A = this chain, B = another copy of it.
Amino acid sequence: MAKIVLYMFMSLDGFIAGPDDGPEQGLGVGGERLHDFLTFDGPDDDPDHPSSARSHDEVGAAVMAEAMTTGAVLTGRRTFEFAGQWGGDHHDGVPIVVLTRSAPAEPPLGHARYVTDVREAAAQARAAAGGRDVLLHGAEAARACLRAGVLDEMALSVVPVLLGAGRRLFDDMPPELVELELVRALDGPGMVHLRYRVLPASASAGES
C-alpha cells in the first residue's frame, strides 16, 4: 500500500517556519534560512514553486527527487493556501488532497480536492497515488495524521540553525510516546537528512 511520507526542513530546535508566517512570507521571519541550501530557478510568476527548487548538493537533491516522484500530495489547507495552491499542480499533475476543517464553496485549483476527515483524506491520497507513495505537506496536517495513526514515515532534513521562535513541527501533541524507527540517516554537506518509520501504536505499547 502507498506510504504517507512527511517531507520537511526543520531547524535543530524544531521549527519549520519563523514567527509571523503568512501568505506573503510562508517561512516567517528568519525562516528563509531553512531553504538556504536551495535555489529556486522557476519562472518569474511563481519562482517558489516546489518543482523549481534545486538543492546545492547531491544528497539533498536525491531526497528532493524522491519527494517529487510521489504519486499524490496530501496537504494541510494552510500550507496549500500559503503556496498559492501551487497553481493547482504540485508536481507532474498528481492528485492533491487538501485536509481542511470546512471545504470552501469555491473549488480548489487544478488537481486538488478538499477533504474534511483526516482518515478519509489519507485513504483518498493513498488510493490516488497509483502505487507510489504520498507526499505529505504541512505541520498541522502532519500532526493530524500522527494522531490518527495514518502517518507512515517522516523524512526530516535538519537544518543547522536555531530559529528560537516560530512554528514548531511537533507541538500540541498528546503526552503519549510515539515510537519511531530510524530507517535512514544521510550526511549531506553540513546537514543530516533523517528518515523515520512511525511504529504502530500497538507495537509501541508492546515495547514500553
- Give me the interface of A with B, judged by CB distance under 8 Å: 12-14, 18-19, 29-30, 33, 146, 156, 158, 160-166, 168-170, 173-182, 185, 187, 190-192, 194, 196, 208
Contacts and interface: CB of A to CB of B under 8 A. Distances in A.
Given A160-B182, A182-B192, 4 more contacts: A18-B175, A162-B178, A163-B175, A164-B177
Contacts of A161: 177-180
A118 B29 CA distance: 29
B18 A196 contact: no
Stoichiometry (number of copies): 2
A165 B160 contact: no
B190 A162 contact: no
A182 B177 CA distance: 28
Nearest to A173: B164
Contact of A160 (B12, B170, B180, B187): B180
Nearest to A160: B180
13 contacts: A12-B170, A13-B14, A13-B169, A18-B175, A19-B175, A29-B175, A33-B177, A164-B175, A164-B178, A165-B173, A165-B174, A185-B187, A192-B192
Contacts of A163: 175, 177
Given A164-B174, A166-B175, A194-B192, A180 B19 contact: no
A185 B146 CA distance: 27
Nearest to A192: B185
A127 B159 CA distance: 33
A139 to B, nearest CB: 12
Given A29-B175, A175-B19, A12 B192 contact: no
Given A162-B170, A182-B191, A192-B192, A208 B33 contact: yes
Nearest to A171: B13
B170 A14 contact: yes
A156 B158 CA distance: 13
B160 A177 contact: no
